Structure 1
Amino acid sequence: MTLIAILMATLAAGIGSVWLAAALMGLGVLGRPGPQRGLGAQHLLSLAAGALLATAFMHLLPEAFESQAGAKALFATLLVGLVFFFLLDKAELWHHGHEHHHDDAGHASHDHGHDHADAHHHHGDHGHAPRPGGSWAVLTGDSVHCFGDGILIASAFVADLRLGLVAALAVLAHEVPHHIGDLVVLRQTSANRHVALVKVSLGGVVTALGGITGWWLVDQLQDWLPYF
């Protein structure tokens, strides 16, 4: 029964978030050029962050305090987790800015020696040219991300059914702005928007694989996990 609930929840969170993102983009709520797109994505991202924080502080932490683990160990784990993800976020921002710096330098050196009209025309073409390898990088990163989401949802379901449902909803809300970015990138590298939607949906299916793996790992490591 738990495994069936995990499969349904992970598929709903993994694929449902993709289709919800596509629907919002199709309605023009998100994904439009200009400041409206950034504002809408920020609002949705803030909603997802609030859902994840509420899940952690109102469900996960109280559940952990009811276990046999000491308060000092729990807060140490919380601190390590916060610092780790903070550093991970900073590393991602640094890498993203580093890539943009090299791209700008490459554009400048490539356009050197051309007249102003040719350089402007070439720069415009280069900015809109699709990168075939970029789609695979996006799909690989998205699949790994969805796999981790599946493990999270499965772990929550094993602890408590209601906690699993809350975790699945939080993951769904969290993934919508993430998948909007994926769809925007893949639409530039795919033949049409339907192909991009199928590709991102297949990445969302990996959430179910992560759910099965998480369910199996929790069952195998039951004696080693303090919160189950």
Structure 2
Amino acid sequence: MPLLSWILLFCLLGGALSVIAAGAYLLFPERVRTALLPHLVSFAIGALLGAAFLALLPHALATPGIDDYHVISATVLLGVLGFFLLEKLVLWRHCHEAHCEVHTADEPENHDHNPAAGTLILIGDAVHNLVDGVLIGAAFLTDFHLGVVTSLAVAAHEIPQEVGDFAILLNSGYTRVRAFVFNIISSLATLVGGLIAYLSLQQAEAALPYVLAIAASSFIYVAVADLIPGLHKRVHGAATAQQMALIAAGVLVIYAAHTTLH
């Protein structure tokens, strides 16, 4: 079997299997999912911040050839500002439709749906999956067994983050089926990354730290700008302690997965 076929096969498995595993959440009854959703959003914040600060950015800064860390920091800054403008455009589009999903006057005060958050998380996840594909392709080009292990590591590492992504999409107003389909489509970016690595590994390696920085900026922006403000609607001590515990759990799961698999 040609090496390219192995790369594409394991990229598909590494991306799609994590989505399918995390999609088991969607099988719960609506009442259970409704009760779990606020907790999963808190967990998602920790997972996003953990992935950005403990995985993506360290890899970007440790990439050979990066001598000036200010370049990576500037890329993150530009990414955050870019996602701010992108969210503005998404909100503007929704507010010019017949029914504005963001600024409807008669919406209840506890309405937390933000369609822009779902759009941004899909973009960020696609970028992240693209990078995963590049890493899988590079591993296979180095050694076949390393490629297999890397693919399994990617699948295992992505599961907790995909659970958080489902929570964000549902919190943004997506239906269960739509959230699952869009996450599957986003996971296919892994195939593109694997193909890029196979066809032009040298160029892909040169762009990798900047792609990682942009992916990190998207996760940071969604967590801080779109998700954390919703947590402030519950300000009593017990709710705050619960939120902090779940955020910490999200960070720790990403940390444990990342350190164990490397």
Structure 2, unaligned runs of 5 or more: 86-102, 207-262
The equivalent residue for 1:168 is 151
Letter in 2 for 1:22: G
Q: Distance in 2 between matches of 1:211 and 1:194?
A: 27
The yes-or-no answer on 1:214 pairing with 2:197 is yes
Give the count of matched residue pairs.
Answer: 193
Q: Distance in 1 between matches of 2:11 and 2:71?
A: 23
Structure 1 contact 146–206 (Cα < 8 Å) conserved: yes
Q: CA deviation at 1:40?
A: 6.4
Q: Secondary structure at the match of 1:189?
A: coil
Q: Secondary structure at the match of 1:165?
A: helix
Q: CA deviation at 1:188?
A: 3.5
Letter in 2 for 1:147: L
Trace 1:71-90 onto structure 2 (pairs within 5 A): none
Q: Distance in 2 between matches of 1:140 and 1:83?
A: 20
The yes-or-no answer on 1:32 pairing with 2:36 is yes
Instruction: Find the partner of 1:140 among 110, 123, 128.
Output: 123
Q: Distance in 2 between matches of 1:38 and 1:140?
A: 18
Q: CA deviation at 1:87?
A: 7.7
Query: Between Structure 1 and Structure 2, whose CA radius of gyration is higher?
Result: 1
Trace 1:106-185 onto structure 2 (pairs within 5 A): 122=106, 124-125=108-109, 127-129=111-113, 131=115, 133-172=116-155, 173-174=157-158, 176-178=160-162, 180-185=164-169
Q: Distance in 2 between matches of 1:166 and 1:75?
A: 27
Q: 1:81 to 1:170 in 2, by over 3 A?
A: farther
Q: CA deviation at 1:48?
A: 8.3
Q: 1:90 to 1:44 in 2, by over 3 A?
A: closer
- TM-score normalised by the chain length of structure 1: 0.55
Q: Secondary structure at the match of 1:127?
A: coil
Structure 1 contact 138–182 (Cα < 8 Å) conserved: no
Q: Distance in 2 between matches of 1:48 and 1:2?
A: 30
Q: CA deviation at 1:181?
A: 2.2
Structure 1 contact 6–211 (Cα < 8 Å) conserved: yes
Letter in 2 for 1:184: I
Structure 1, unaligned runs of 5 or more: 65-73, 96-109, 111-118
Letter in 2 for 1:127: H
Q: CA deviation at 1:175?
A: 5.2
Structure 2 contact 40–167 (Cα < 8 Å) conserved: no
Letter in 2 for 1:6: I
Q: 1:84 to 1:8 in 2, by over 3 A?
A: farther
Q: 1:48 to 1:7 in 2, by over 3 A?
A: same
- TM-score normalised by the chain length of structure 2: 0.49
Percent identity between the two aligned chains: 25
The equivalent residue for 1:205 is 188
Provide the alpha-carbon RMSD of the alignment: 5.1
Give the stretch that moved more between structures: 146-155 or 180-189: 180-189
Q: Distance in 1 between matches of 2:50 and 2:153?
A: 9
